[in-house]
Amino acid sequence: MNKRQLISSLLAASALSFGLTSAHAQTPIKFQLDWRFEGPAALFLHPAAKGYFKTAGLDVAIDAGNGSGGTVTRVASGAYDMGFADLAALMEFHANNPDSPNKPVAVMMVYNNTPASVMALKKSGIAKPADLAGKKLGAPVFDAGRRAFPIFAKANNIGAVNWTAMDPTLRETMLVRGDIDAITGFTFTSLLNLEARGAKAADIVVLQYPDYGVKLYGNVIIASPKLIKENPAAIKAFLSAFAKGAKEVMANPAVAIESVKKRDGIIDSALETRRLKLAIDTVINSPDARTDGFGAVDPGRLSLMASQVSDAFGTKTRVNPEAVWTASLLPPAAELNILKK
């Protein structure tokens, strides 16, 4: 081996060693979404695709979910380090498992308003909340809107309703067929699903919970207490990378959807772009979000929600708002200044 070959060999070995060291330096984070790879998943898939998590020293693996309750349970079990879930589902878990040592904690607010709403077709005669009394409503038993309906009913003095349970895939179909009078669901999910099943937008009545006195928070990023205790820096790095990506997603939803398409090649990009825009406009960049500041919560509003969830869900113990939320891991204010006026 001549001198030039020796130098090349040493450089190659050094590069390999550096690569292995860099790989080992990446902190693994298993992340569970609340639902399938649809438009809003771009909030997480985009920064992953752009390499923002990797640049922050994280090796983030993002999996689809099948409901917020499942996400909370899986993070609590240790199967996942972090996740994206409805705050009400997290509160319920805390209050029903007071002795559990592994209760996840919310570390960033993303959906400042609940996406839940009641949807009906105009031909049903439903135009306002009071019209729901005596009607047949349908939703999966775990649906966030159905679980929180008692809060919506109390705020709007709605009489008794009759519930029909079904699989999520049948909810909008049953409404279009006339099997039920109204459904509960996330606005940006059910509204577009109704259109996909032949309903015209002009014929759909949407009663969004936040528009009718129900100021529940929606989805939050949650973390396991183990990760919070052992590696808070990893959570801070995750949230910073997420905020950077979220700003880009809100600025250009159509481009961000490409990251979702890479994970699920059969999605309708145009439809999922609409779904993402709906989510941004209704629950992410909402007036309440601009008041609280992206990622943050209002303590008084959080306490009220804790009380409402305790009552509506009939939890074993009362929800302690201080136990379900911490703002201590949020990025600096400058990094969270991402909402357009």
In the chain, where are the structural domains located? 27-113+217-336, 116-212
Percent of the residues in the chain that have a pLDDT greater than 90, as a whole number: 91
Per-residue pLDDT of 247-285, as tens digits, reads 999 999 999 999 999 999 999 999 999 999 999 999 999
Average pLDDT value for residue range 130-156:
95
Taking 80 as the threshold, does the pLDDT of residue 99 lie above it?
A: yes
CATH superfamily of 116-212: Periplasmic binding protein-like II (3.40.190.10)
Query: pLDDT tens digit string along 299-316?
Result: 999 999 999 999 999 999
Same fold, 27-113+217-336 and 116-212: yes
CA atoms within 13 A on the CB side of 143: 29
Q: Is the pLDDT of residue 333 over 60?
A: yes
Mean per-residue pLDDT, 296-300 = 97
pLDDT, position 25: 74
Beta bridge partners of 205: 120
Q: Does pLDDT of 13 surpass 50?
A: no
Which amino acid is residue 112, in one-letter code?
A: N
pLDDT of residue 341: 78
Q: With cut-offs at 50, 70 and 90, classify the pLDDT of residue 160.
A: very high
* Strand ranges inside the chain, DSSP E: 27-32, 58-63, 82-86, 105-109, 116-121, 136-138, 162-164, 182-186, 204-208, 219-223
Work out the pLDDT band at 14, boundaries 50, 70, 90. very low
In the predicted model, what is the mean pLDDT of the chain? 93
Model pLDDT, residue 16: 43
Please tell me the distance from the alpha carbon of residue 128 to that of residue 131, in angstroms, as a whole number.
Answer: 6
Q: How many residues does the chain have?
A: 341
Q: What is the pLDDT of residue 242?
A: 98
pLDDT given at position 5: 53
Q: How far apart are CA 65 and CA 86, in angstroms?
A: 12
Q: Is the pLDDT of residue 84 over 90?
A: yes
Cβ count within 10 A of residue 264:
14
Residue 11 has pLDDT above 90, yes or no: no
Query: Does the structure show a pLDDT above 80 at 15?
Result: no
Element (H, E) at 241: helix 232-251
Q: What is the pLDDT of residue 7?
A: 46
Tens of pLDDT, residue by residue over 57-79, are 999 999 999 999 999 999 999 99
Q: How many whole angstroms separate alpha carbon 166 and alpha carbon 170?
A: 6
Which of the four pLDDT bands, split at 50, 70 and 90, describes residue 53? very high
Homologous superfamily (CATH) for 27-113+217-336: Periplasmic binding protein-like II (3.40.190.10)
Q: Average pLDDT of 215-227? A: 97
Q: Report the half-sphere exposure of 287 (CA within 13 A, side-chain side).
A: 3
Confidence bin at 1 (pLDDT 50/70/90): low
